[in-house]
Amino acid sequence: MTKKWWHDKVAYQIYPKSFYDSNGDGVGDIPGIISKLDYLKDLGVDIIWISPMYPSPFADQGYDISDYYNIDPAFGTLEDMECLIAEAKKRDMYILMDLVVNHCSDEHEWFEKACEDPEGKYGNFFYIEDRKEGERPCNWRSYFGGSVWEPLPGHEDKQYLHAFHKKQPDLNWENPEVREEVYKNINWWLDKGLGGFRIDAIINIKKKLPYQDYPSDRADGLSDMSLMLADAKGVGEFLGEMNRRTFQPHDSFAVGEVFNEKEEELPDFIGDNGYFSSIFDFATTSWGKNDKGWYANERITPDAYKQCYFHSQKKIGDVGFYSNIIENHDEPRGVSYYIPEGDLCDESKKMLAALYFFMRGLPFIYQGQEIGMENLGVIPIEKIDDISALDQYQVCLDAGYTKEEALKIVSLYNRDNARTPVQWNDEKNAGFTTGIPWLMVNPNYTQINVAAQETDENSVLAFYKKMTALRKTPEYKETFVYGDVIPFEEERHNLMAYHRKADKDMLVIGNFQRERQSVTLPAEVENILLNNYPDMKLEGKELILEGYQAVVLEMK
């Protein structure tokens, strides 16, 4: 594997609406991000991925872009963005934007022109088909509910395809003109000094054509998109071309949002000359959800969690690097989801952090994760903003759940959980804004906030800083970045442990339960590199771990 500039980096995701508001309009903005760059540097962050900030009607929180060459006024101006890139550079940090090119907004001029003249140039930028009442080209279900087909505005005899919301028409990647427009835009941003992109929903760009139905899994008669995607061949041609025309010549970092990747595809995706630098490992977040959706409502156990990671690591070997996460803007807060109910505390939060952070790959920290921000919990359905949660609420009701049960399920996965404003301090609105926040602040901000944790050497935040510093320690770096992952005591219930082995042998161990547990270590301990408890009980090779204790040990 060829070494790349980004291999040893720590990444951080900003959800800009909720990060920091500098002008009191209730929405986070670019000057707000700039004012927190030193905070992020101090945390040990090198790469910052920012969710979309382009002009948008915000039907899907900016994942519906109406102009790829500008910044939405809610976030600032293009000059602000250039200033952010420059300020980051001064601190040896890299900015990634979100590349959302499976679809654009129905308010993008391409779609508006397609509606004016579906037979013209821009009609071919989208998937537009003739429409007879009651007929549709195929039975695919949109990710946000209902058919992917929608009547074309102004043309009752035509329909267009949208994999996500109807305000997110899919771009026709089969059309070379569309691809050229995308590459031109990517290069325009990269030439401004951007470090790269996180690439949204990219596997959806290849459709199975001609259209065909797939078996339905629900009463609506529609089929899950995953069936079509598994059947659609040739996405690699588009991805390879995109890479050669954009990321590769700029030596930029590109991380793909790819689901259900197969082992044999990994070299093409993230090998030395892969389409992407890295892809996210979604094994834990997807667990149990793939076929049944949110309403399956099965919570992952610590043992299953561990198996997901080990399975991913075996699959990837040393082909490339996964990007590792415990949460993002589409998922519940990791601590609220992976730690069994009732066991949420600083120790368990730190344990969860250590276990994923030292796994081979690029660690991504999602805003607020570093202080242990939690889910909102159950809130009234009227207060939910997330379109996906509102759709899934209906799916739960259709599946026979009562309103109360449906709300409980939706509250666990509601994408608003991770989208509430960052809790900076214990003042009004958690110090996020002097105005009215666009989305409610989690009421626990008086206990959980950055200011309080910055002065507490035992805080979750302090632990994250120790983790980033440890990963970057010159003598350990090679092992933490490139070392093999070798599971230890893999079959042991509620214990997740693995070696990272290169020139040194590190052992990362987490006791994933509230009860004590003892393990016999495979060798003597040279150094205790990290511990979420003040002490470690070790007698010879017998290690007694307290509830949720996590340690990183250098072995002899």
The smaller minimum CB distance to ligand TEU, of residues 206 and 415, is found at: 415
Question: Rule CB under 6 A: is residue 364 a binding residue for ligand TEU?
Answer: no
Phi–psi pair at 400, nearest 5 degrees: 100, 5
Question: Rule CB under 6 A: is residue 482 a binding residue for ligand TEU?
Answer: no
Question: Rule CB under 6 A: is residue 60 a binding residue for ligand TEU?
Answer: yes
- Considering only residues 395 through 424, tell me which ones interact with ligand TEU, judged by CB under 6 A: 415
Question: Rule CB under 6 A: is residue 114 a binding residue for ligand TEU?
Answer: no
Residue 260 region by backbone torsions, left for phi larger than 0, else alpha for psi between -120 and 50, else beta: left
Can 330 be counted among the known catalytic residues? Answer: no
* Active-site residue, selected from the candidate residues 21, 46, 200, 370: 200
Q: x/- contact string, 256-275, with ligand TEU (CB under 6 A)? A: -x------------------
What number of CA atoms fall less than 13 Å from residue 3's CA on the CB side? 6
Question: Rule CB under 6 A: is residue 388 a binding residue for ligand TEU?
Answer: yes
Sign of CA dihedral 478, 482, 483, 488: positive
Nearest to 361 by CA among 244, 260, 498, 465: 498
Q: Could you give the angle at which helices 460-472 and 474-482 cross, rounded to 10 degrees?
A: 90
d(CA 213, CA 211): 7
Phi–psi pair at 252, nearest 5 degrees: -95, 170
> Shortest approach of ligand TEU to residue 134 CB, angstroms?
28
**Distance of CA 53 to CAs 16, 93, 96, 288, 457, Å?**
7, 19, 11, 32, 35
- Interface residue with ligand TEU, options 201, 266, 396, 495 (CB under 6 A): 201
Q: Which residue is nearest to ligand TEU (CB)?
A: 63
The smaller minimum CB distance to ligand TEU, of residues 35 and 260, is found at: 260
> Shortest approach of ligand TEU to residue 540 CB, angstroms?
47
What number of CA atoms fall less than 13 Å from residue 503's CA on the CB side? 6
The smaller minimum CB distance to ligand TEU, of residues 217 and 330, is found at: 330
Are 329 and 419 in contact, with CB atoms under 8 Å apart? yes
* Active-site residue, selected from the candidate residues 46, 257, 346, 374: 257
- Interface residue with ligand TEU, options 12, 54, 58, 63 (CB under 6 A): 63
d(CA 131, CA 269): 37
Are 483 and 500 in contact, with CB atoms under 8 Å apart? yes
Neighbouring-strand partners of residue 551: 509, 531
What contacts 24+ positions apart, CB below 8 Å, involve 28-31? Answer: 28/75, 28/421, 28/432, 28/433, 29/74, 29/75, 29/76, 29/80, 30/71, 30/75, 30/76, 30/77, 30/80, 30/81, 30/83, 30/84, 31/76, 31/80
Can 79 be counted among the known catalytic residues? Answer: no
The smaller minimum CB distance to ligand TEU, of residues 269 and 464, is found at: 269
**Distance of CA 456 to CAs 371, 381, 491, Å?**
11, 37, 36
- Interface residue with ligand TEU, options 127, 164, 364, 498 (CB under 6 A): 164
d(CA 397, CA 446): 35
The smaller minimum CB distance to ligand TEU, of residues 185 and 434, is found at: 185
Interface with ligand TEU (CB under 6 A), residue total: 12
Residue reference for tokens 């730690």: 339
d(CA 430, CA 425): 5
> Shortest approach of ligand TEU to residue 51 CB, angstroms?
7
> Shortest approach of ligand TEU to residue 260 CB, angstroms?
10
> Shortest approach of ligand TEU to residue 98 CB, angstroms?
8
Neighbouring-strand partners of residue 130: 158
> Shortest approach of ligand TEU to residue 434 CB, angstroms?
28
> Shortest approach of ligand TEU to residue 54 CB, angstroms?
12
Question: Rule CB under 6 A: is residue 330 a binding residue for ligand TEU?
Answer: yes
The smaller minimum CB distance to ligand TEU, of residues 88 and 203, is found at: 203
Question: Rule CB under 6 A: is residue 100 a binding residue for ligand TEU?
Answer: yes
Neighbouring-strand partners of residue 128: 160
Question: Rule CB under 6 A: is residue 54 a binding residue for ligand TEU?
Answer: no
Question: Rule CB under 6 A: is residue 143 a binding residue for ligand TEU?
Answer: yes
The smaller minimum CB distance to ligand TEU, of residues 170 and 347, is found at: 170
> Shortest approach of ligand TEU to residue 130 CB, angstroms?
27
The smaller minimum CB distance to ligand TEU, of residues 202 and 470, is found at: 202
Active-site residue list: 200, 257
Footprint on this chain of ligand TEU (rule: CB under 6 A)? 60, 63, 100, 143, 164, 200-201, 257, 329-330, 388, 415
